[in-house]
Amino acid sequence: MKSRSTASTESLRQALSLNLGQDRYALWFEGRTHLDLAGDTLQVGVPNLHFQQWLEGRFGKAILETAQTVIGPAGKVRFHIDAALFQDLQREAKKADRGSLASGRSDLELSAPALSPTAGPARKKVRKFDQFIATENNRPAFLAAQRFGAGEIEGVRLLFLHGGNGLGKSHLLEGMAQHRRTVHPQAKVLLQTAEEFVNDFLEAIRSQKQAGFRKRMRGLDLWLVDDLEGLVGKQKSQEEFLLTLDALGRSGATVAIAMQSPPGRIKGLIPEFAARIAGGLVCQLTPLDLAARMSLLSHLLAKGPKLHLEAPLLELMARKIRGSGRECEGLIQTLKHHCLSSGGPATESMVRGLLGPWVQSDRKNPTIAEVIDAFCQVVHTSAEEIKRKSRSPLHSHARLVAMFLARVLTGATCKEVGRWFARQHSTVVSAEKKVRGWQKTQARLTVGLRSWRIDEVEGKVRGLLGIDLG
């Protein structure tokens, strides 16, 4: 039978796991700490002072709250250095050092397989530039990635790619990695997600190998970081990321980063971070237009098991599918599977039957906020700017066009659009009438940073939202 002290200690462990989350508890407490209950005090054994200070700073409040929940309001927490944990950590560090020496490879070389197609089945095959379908809108980003990957853009050390899901950001990062290793075989290149960077950084802290981590990261020639969203809300990791970025800049290395939002619209990052990223070369990827979707679908049909498709069926798919290359690939894979299963060619009824998950009309209308967000990205302004009570053309033109697009693309009433802009519904009625007049006469007006026709703005906003012009 368990003693009351043992049972209470187990209750504390379970409560702390629930409070912190099972994954976080397993990462930082299991095997790394000893929890013991002595009277009204929770004793937390740790391997060293460094780990104690980090644990107290990160989880001290949660540990105390848990202790007082289980023990009572008088519950206290005391940290102490545990000799057994200290010895375990020392043995682990020595074992890791022996492993690195036995392999005859440095920290930098150990990170190289992250890009190598021969690194093992866990790493997918790295895509190349010649597999990327460049459209008129995406060509600047594609060319910048090619030159950046080869190290040919003089004076540019940071490239920032942004755009929605499935538009090719990861593809371009992989292309840059592959190209740099082809042009400069000895280059130290690392391709990783922001989440992987955070995990590596936290593991370095936990195992007291921050020096090795920093040596490995700051010795790179090209660092490629995907899904920067993984850093949002993680201040310490952001600070370490910035230190790495600055160190690589001083050494002459280059860095490419990909994220869905443009630099000025990233939420959850410390101010210095957004400002630092905005100082690089910023390129946007937009959804594929009709011609690009047809080109990509043709390429996918000829890839792997070839499938012939009549031109009218190809155009039907290109018009119905959304602007993501990932969805184009999914549709063709599904179509090929059905053709192989039936043993016959692709027919119109088969294509129409398979289009369901990808058909434009199946999508819900975007919200007013989504339309305004896309509009602001296109004309390089902000929602706060277009909502300002200013009569200057710089602001009023943008506001009128935004109101018009919110009405046209969402199906919202004038009253609903007016509420979003904090204006009367009559103002929205007037805005729609005026913009339709500009649209009819093909007038050009200054919206944001340049001159536009209404159809041009609408087309780009539709593209960002994945809405086909039909």
What average pLDDT score do residues 165-171 get?
A: 84
Range scoring the smallest mean pLDDT among 5-9, 158-162, 240-244, 312-316? 5-9
In 3-state terms, what secondary structure has residue 230?
helix
Residue 213 has pLDDT above 90, yes or no: yes
Residue 248 has pLDDT above 70, yes or no: yes
- Give the alpha-carbon dihedral of 285, 325, 257, 199, to 10 degrees: 150
Inter-residue contact 141 to 161 (CB < 8 Å)? yes
Rounded distance, CA 68 to CA 269, Å? 33
Residue 110's pLDDT band, with cuts at 50, 70 and 90, is: very low
Residue 107 has pLDDT above 50, yes or no: no
Residue 4 has pLDDT above 80, yes or no: no
How many Cα atoms are found within 13 Å in the side-chain-facing hemisphere of 350? 20
Q: Work out the angle at residue 165's Cα, subtended by the Cα atoms of residues 374 and 335, and round it to the nearest 5 degrees.
A: 120
Residue 395 has pLDDT above 50, yes or no: yes
Residue 240's pLDDT band, with cuts at 50, 70 and 90, is: very high
pLDDT digits (tens, 9 = 90+) for 19-55: 777 767 777 788 888 888 888 888 898 888 777 877 8
Q: To the nearest whole percent, how much of the chain has pLDDT over 70?
A: 84
Q: What is the DSSP string of 365-389?
A: PPPHHHHHHHHHHHHT--HHHHTS-
Domains and CATH numbers, the chain: 4-86 (3.30.300.180), 129-284 (3.40.50.300), 290-362 (1.10.8.60), 368-465 (1.10.1750.10)
Select the more confidently predicted residue: 336 or 221: 221
Please count the residues of the chain. 470
Q: To the nearest whole percent, how much of the chain has pLDDT over 90?
A: 11
pLDDT at position 96 is 43
pLDDT at position 111 is 35
Strand-by-strand arrangement of the 34-38 sheet: 34-38, 41-46, 76-81
pLDDT digits (tens, 9 = 90+) for 129-154: 877 877 777 888 889 898 888 877 77
Q: Is 384 exposed, middle or buried (0-12, 13-18, 19+ CB in 10 A)?
A: exposed
Residue 455 has pLDDT above 90, yes or no: no
